[in-house]
Chains A and B, each alone.
Chain A
Amino acid sequence: MATVKVSEAEKVYILHGIRDDLRVDGRGCEDYRHVEIETDVVSNTDGSAKVTLGYTAVLVGIKADIGKPKPMVPNEGYLEFFVDCSANATPEFEGRGGEELGTELSNTLYKVFNNKHSVDLKSLCISAGEHCWVLYVDVLLLQCDGNLYDAISIAIKAALFNTKIPRVHISADEEGGKEIELSDDPYDCMRLDVENVPCIVTLCKVGHRHVVDVTLQEKACSVASLIISVTHKGTITCTRKVGGGSLDPESIFEMTEAGKRVGKALHAPLMALLQQEESLGKKRQKVGFLG
């Protein structure tokens, strides 16, 4: 992860601030920074979203391709994740520097979505055992100021909401094999139900308290964090502990409860915002990257 150097005095200041529930920028321990979300920013994808969380910026593009289903689950499609840490974010990511972080992020995403309920994979099936939709989810880190997991999960949820998969018609051709036809009408498409897509909450242990949505400076003062993915009902799909420090079981329980609370509260405003953006339709003023 990108790191900043912090002096001893600054660490103590940040520690005392978090203890008193007043962080460097005035937030409380469970407050998020200002979030801006925009979907449909990349024109040659089936779904895309750009999320800015404070100074962290993440771009997600989703492409739907026809592929062969996995042998164990012939009547389901699947998702493939790839995270690219661009050197735009920080010079540390130049060349292959961002590869380690990228693999860690994509492995966590696989774990988060590895259950039956997050995305309805059966709806991605075209013909059992032969063809299915594969959704390639590509994440690009544009700017890095801490809290990558949360920003990425919000962006993925928004991009999945925005994804339009063309409808297919299966017909039999002359030799008896199956032929797949994609609908030519750009509006004839299938949308995904993203109600159950989880959002990731990262809680960092700083001193004796846990903090949500840390900046890079605050991250330098914490030794361990807990990553929890929570659905809108409060169900946890995946937990991971990262960092070299140790967490005692009581604080893990406290952090999990806090994570559930905070994660649950993320979904409602996110869905409301996505519906609002959708309802604006053509009238929406596209901001893109030059706003």
Chain B
Amino acid sequence: MAADMRLPTIRKPVSLCSGERKDLVVPGDVITSDTGFMRGHGTYVDEDKLTASVAGEVQRVDKLICVRPLKTRFNGEVGDVVVGRITEVQQKRWKVETNSRLDSVLLLSSVNLPGGELRRRSAEDELTMRQYLLEGDLISAEVQSVFSDGALSLHTRSLKYGKRQKTHFHNLPCGASIILGNNGFVWLYATPSNEEEEAGGFYTSLEPVSLSDREVISRLRNCLLALAAHKVLLYDTSVLYCYESSLQHQVKDILKPEVMEEIVMLTQQKLLEQEG
């Protein structure tokens, strides 16, 4: 019960493979003075010199040079699966926060309303939009298209999506399910016991979750935070290995720095073994 207080220490990132020397640049660094290259994303030309505009790794593909930033907002492509939260309800659409530069758009015509897929949208639907999705609700959706200003247009027309549902969707053997959105948001939930087909609309379950399931979900949540803190890519395999390595510790201890390091090292070892 006593608070765990300690002095801070300089944390070293955990990485088993030292890797090849990466070409890292910061904004303003000159990449090359050779004018024969085409400039890609993250670069600009300053007095005939190709300069980086973001902090990241230089990637060369034949004559094209671009800089991939280390940390950036989500740039969606068509077909990406995203997890988002409704921020606004507007006239015929919802605004969704997906960690991009602009809020994404979910049009009323892009969702499945109860009553079946081919139902016509009426004026009444427009007035009762809040009954389907309210501010603060979580949804999983797919990127349908990208507007000219860069905002994403989402859709949940396939029955897989909606408030939650069945790539990116994994039912982990430990008893919980996970949706890994391309935008960096992760949705953890207890695996629903009944897998029934719904005719449309959104599904919210307000039933209490059992204590064992709750513990599994909390453990997974802490494992995900530990993996993210050490820059390990999240796949269903890495998450599962991390979960298994963490079983020897108590759930609330996982977020302590030394326990995080230990679990992430074990996970990386297991991932390397599986690869080789």
Contacts and interface: CB of A to CB of B under 8 A. Distances in A.
Interface of A: 5-10, 12-13, 16-17, 20, 22-28, 30-38, 52, 262, 265-266, 268-270, 273, 276-277, 284-285, 287, 291
Interface residues of B, number: 38
A268 B4 CA distance: 11
Given A7-B134, A25-B218, 8 more contacts: A16-B214, A25-B252, A31-B252, A32-B4, A265-B2, A270-B5, A284-B7, A285-B9
A36 B1 CA distance: 17
Contacts of B10: 285, 287, 291
B255 to A, nearest CB: 6
Contact of B211 (A22, A32, A262, A270): A22
B3 A269 contact: yes
8 smallest CB-CB distances across A and B, nearest first, come from A26-B251, A32-B3, A5-B136, A26-B252, A26-B218, A36-B8, A35-B5, A287-B8
Interface stretch (B114-122, B167-175, B200-208): B200-208
A26 B9 contact: no
9 contacts: A16-B208, A26-B222, A28-B1, A34-B257, A265-B2, A266-B3, A273-B7, A285-B10, A287-B9
A285 B108 CA distance: 57
Interface of B: 1-11, 85, 87, 134-138, 163, 204-206, 208-209, 211, 214-215, 218-219, 221-222, 250-252, 254-257
Contacts of A287: 8-10
> Most B CB atoms within 10 A — which of A24, A33, A34, A262?
A34
Contact of A277 (B7, B204, B218, B252): B7
Nearest to B133: A7
A268 B2 CA distance: 9
Contacts of A20: 211, 214
A26 B249 CA distance: 11
B4 A34 contact: yes
